[in-house]
Structure 1
Amino acid sequence: MNSARISELLKTRPKTTMYWGMYVASTQAGAEPDLGVAVAKKLAKRAVDRNRLKRMIRELIWAAQTSTLNKDVVVKLKKPIGRDTRGRLRKKEKETLRSQILGLL
């Protein structure tokens, strides 16, 4: 997905939960559905956690795009993670984030 398409999607109104903002738009004519993921360093301090979140999002969105969601998607983290655990992503919070993404789909 190129930067112009991402900027175009970010101008639309997002579906939101406590942690996530999901921007959805129909695909361009004859193109495959695309995905963009934004997990800012300010919101997830450790690279391990950022990469884990990105992998989780890609897995969930790609599964949805192959079955029901045939649109371009940009997913953006809105709120810092790991406030109670010294900036580390723990299993309980990871499951909360996963359930919120599934709720957006």
Structure 2
Amino acid sequence: MNSARISELLKTRPKTSSYWGVYSATPLVDSHPDLGAAVAKKLAKRAVDRNRLKRMLREQVRKAQSSRLSLDVVVKLRAPIGRGTRGRLRSKEKNLIRNQLLGLV
């Protein structure tokens, strides 16, 4: 997904939870559904956690796109993770984030 398409999607109204903002729209003519992920360094300090979050995002959106979702999607992290664990993403927080994402997608 190119930056112009991401910017276009970010102007739409998102579905939100405490951690995520999900922006979606119908795909352009003659193209398949696409995914964009935005996990800011300011919100997830460690690269390991940012990459883990992006893998979780891809997994959940692909499952949704294969079964029922046929939209272009941009998912954006809205709140900092790991505040109580010195910036590290722990399993309890991962499960909470994953469940919130499932509810949105």
Q: TM-score range by the shorter chain?
A: over 0.9
CA distance, structure 2, for counterparts of residue 48 and residue 62 of structure 1:
21
The answer for unaligned runs of 5 or more in structure 2 is none
Summarize the alignment of residues 13-92 of structure 1 with structure 2, pairs less than 5 Å apart. Answer: 13-92=13-92
State the number of aligned residues: 105
SS of 1:95 mapped into structure 2: helix
Give identity over the alignment, percent. Answer: 70
Give the TM-score, by structure 1 length. 0.99
User: Which residue in 2 is equivalent to 1:6?
Assistant: 6
Q: For residues 12-58 of structure 1, what are the alpha-carbon distances to aligned partners after superposition, in whole Å with 9 as ceiling and x for unaligned?
A: 00000000000000011110000000000000000000000000000
- TM-score, normalised relative to structure 2: 0.99
* Post-superposition CA distance 1:59-101 (Å, at most 9, x none): 1101111110000000000000000000000000000000000
Q: Distance in 2 between matches of 1:104 and 1:94?
A: 16
Amino acid at match of 2:66: T
User: Which segments of 5 or more consecutive residues in structure 1 lack a partner in the other structure?
Assistant: none
The amino acid across from 1:59 in the alignment is: E
Using the alignment, how far apart are the partners of 2:96 and 2:30 within structure 1? 35
Quote the RMSD (CA, aligned, Å): 0.4
Paired position in structure 2 for 1:98: 98
SS at match of 1:75: strand
What SS does structure 1 have at the residue aligned with 2:7?
helix
